[in-house]
Amino acid sequence: TGETALEAFRDIHDLAASCRFRDCRHLQEPGCAVREAVASGQLPQARYDSFQKLAAEREHQQRQQDARALLEQKRRAKVAGKALHSRLKEKGAK
């Protein structure tokens, strides 16, 4: 999906190479070549809006995946903790 988005918005990614900051999100950062292209009419506003919408959706999806991974990690730790507690309790009873 990352490759598909890159190909679909190749023009914006090419413009982004000229941004002042490598991690520019093309929102409010100074020296953003993408927003400058929109302001000059080189890049249509609708195309920029579509790009930003897709970026927001991808960020949301990543946050959801991260949250699920954290919950799974907590679940595994809880199971391991209970198993350890049970094992220590068995050893203490002997």
CA distance linking residue 54 with residue 10, whole number of Å: 14
Per-residue model confidence as pLDDT tens for the chain (94 residues):
556 666 789 999 999 999 999 989 999 999 999 999 999 999 999 999 999 999 999 888 988 888 888 888 888 888 888 888 888 888 877 6
Q: Name the phi and psi angles at 30, rounded to 5.
A: -70, 150
Q: What is the pTM of this model?
A: 0.62
